[in-house]
């Protein structure tokens, strides 16, 4: 007997004595069938004698006769009965519902797309860890001064004596940038199971946070924290151009203004100070590289290419989005500088470092730090920052 939510499949014998299958809608119908079957068995007396005159013992092989009954049933009836009986379990359905789960037919790539980040353009400047020892709260720079002259010997004149002296620059403070990452053992187990490596991504996020903050301080500085950057350096020469790098100016006017600023330090210092690199805003670079010098004569040379010919002393040309709309009235910037130790140097006594992992309870915590000293210029006259409307 097979039961499924009040429906019964009952194995019985028909009038000829063969096994048959009956189904009943409820328990009362099943009870009636059982009573009827027991009464029939009592009347037959479970006789072992055959009715065809054969006196040999009767073999009652229920398995064989049961198989014969089911073989006689149609496949459709069996499938319908199996489906009917399985509904009560809520864990099996007919084959017509398909063999794939919703995600079984979805392909997931191994590549994981990371959020795009802006370029850290402060890395273009030289980094100098020798200006400050790790852990020092302040650093200073020694500077020497020398005087001397010569005279023609004879005539009783005194021999001029040379002199030399040294001084110290004002003290510049250092700061520590810090960030951390934390994960519980349970989240780590879940991450390992799913293959997402969440702990690595959190550590990378902490490291990126420190580098982004340092990049911002390298360019903009912070007066409240007494950190000098490029744009707020007190000794940096700054100019504001009346020539706009737009269609309001001719190519000749733009090239004249650019070259005047590029060569000003060299001309005014008798070549003592001379920038050899330039970095400009993305907006200015886009205009210079897409605007032709003279459209009328069919020339295909851009203002950008012509400026490189006019300023061969500038051997490094680059761009930074930090100079876009960063000046007065949202002006764009161009910085001429020396690409060596006599230009802007980024003071980094200690690069980004992670402390040993700390475990408390179920949580693992990692702390990262970096010691910085802002931007230092040994020879500030080598640099010139110009603002243009663009």
CA atoms of 387 and 315, how far apart (whole Å)? 21
- Cβ contact 38:54 at 8 Å: no
pLDDT at 96: 59
pLDDT tens-digit readout, 70-113: 555 555 565 555 555 555 555 555 555 566 677 778 888 888 88
Low-confidence ranges of the chain (pLDDT < 70): 1-100, 295-298
Q: How far is CA 160 from the centre of its chain?
A: 67
Burial readout 13-50 (b: 16 or more C-beta within 10 A, e: otherwise): eeeeeebebeebeeeebbeeeeeeeeeeeeeeeeeeee
Tell me the whole-structure pTM to 2 decimals.
Answer: 0.73
Concatenate the DSSP letters of all residues of 316-361 into one string.
EEEE-GGGTT-SGGG-EEEEEE-SSTTSEEEE-SEEEEEPPPEEET
Q: Could you give all domains of the chain from N- to C-terminal order, each with its CATH number?
A: 2-50+58-96 (no CATH), 174-388 (3.90.1690.10)
Concatenate the DSSP letters of all residues of 238-294 into one string.
EEE-SS-SSTTS-HHHHHHHHHHHHHHHHHHTTTSS---EEEE-HHHHHHHHHSBS-
Counting beta carbons within 10 angstroms of the beta carbon of residue 154, is it exposed (0 to 12), middle (13 to 18) or buried (19 or more)? exposed
The SS3 call for residue 126 is: strand
CA atoms of 75 and 8, how far apart (whole Å)? 19
Least Cα distance to 218 among 64, 290, 71, 323 occurs for 323
What element of type H or E holds 13? strand 7-13
What lies within 8 Å, CB to CB, of 206 at 6+ separation is 179, 180, 181, 366, 368
Q: How far is CA 217 from the centre of its chain?
A: 21
3-class SS letters over 167-228: EECCCEECEEEEEEEEEEHHHHHHHHHHCCCHHHHHHHHHHHHHHHHHHHHHHHCECCCCEC
pLDDT at 114: 84
């Amino acid at each position: 007997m097979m039961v499924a939510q009040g429906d019964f499949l009952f194995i019985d014998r028909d009038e000829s004595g063969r096994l048959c299958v009956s189904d009943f809608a409820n328990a009362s119908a099943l009870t009636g069938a059982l009573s009827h079957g027991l009464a029939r068995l009592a009347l037959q007396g479970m006789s072992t004698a055959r009715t065809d005159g054969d006196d040999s013992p009767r073999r009652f092989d229920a398995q064989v006769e049961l198989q014969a009954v089911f073989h006689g049933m149609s496949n459709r009836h069996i499938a319908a009965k199996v489906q009917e009986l399985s509904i009560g379990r809520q864990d099996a359905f007919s084959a017509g519902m398909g063999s794939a789960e919703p995600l079984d037919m979805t392909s997931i790539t191994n590549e994981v797309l990371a959020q795009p980040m802006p370029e850290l353009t402060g890395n273009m400047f030289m980094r100098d860890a020798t200006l400050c020892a790790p852990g020092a709260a302040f650093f200073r720079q020694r500077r020497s001064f020398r005087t001397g002259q010569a005279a023609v010997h004879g005539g009783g004149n005194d021999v001029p004596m040379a002199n030399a002296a040294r001084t110290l620059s004002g003290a510049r403070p250092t700061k520590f940038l810090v960030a951390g990452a934390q994960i519980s053992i349970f989240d780590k187990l879940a991450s390992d199971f799913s293959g997402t490596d969440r702990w690595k991504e959190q550590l990378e996020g902490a490291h990126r946070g420190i580098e982004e903050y340092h990049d911002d301080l390298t360019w903009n500085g912070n007066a409240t924290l007494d950190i000098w950057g490029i744009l707020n350096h007190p000794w940096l020469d700054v100019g504001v151009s009346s020539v706009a790098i737009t269609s309001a100016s001719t190519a000749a006017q733009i090239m004249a203004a650019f070259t005047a600023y590029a060569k000003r330090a060299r001309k005014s210092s008798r070549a003592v100070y001379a920038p050899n690199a330039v970095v400009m805003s993305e907006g200015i670079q886009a205009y210079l590289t897409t605007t032709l010098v003279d459209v009328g004569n069919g020339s295909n040379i851009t203002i950008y290419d012509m400026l490189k010919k006019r300023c061969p002393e500038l051997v490094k040309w680059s761009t930074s989005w930090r100079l876009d709309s960063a000046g007065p009235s949202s002006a764009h910037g161009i910085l001429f500088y020396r690409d060596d130790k006599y230009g802007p140097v980024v003071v980094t006594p200690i690069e980004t470092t992670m402390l040993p992992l700390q475990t408390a309870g179920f949580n693992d915590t990692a702390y990262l730090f970096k010691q910085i000293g802002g931007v230092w210029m040994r020879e500030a006259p080598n640099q010139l920052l110009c603002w243009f409307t663009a």
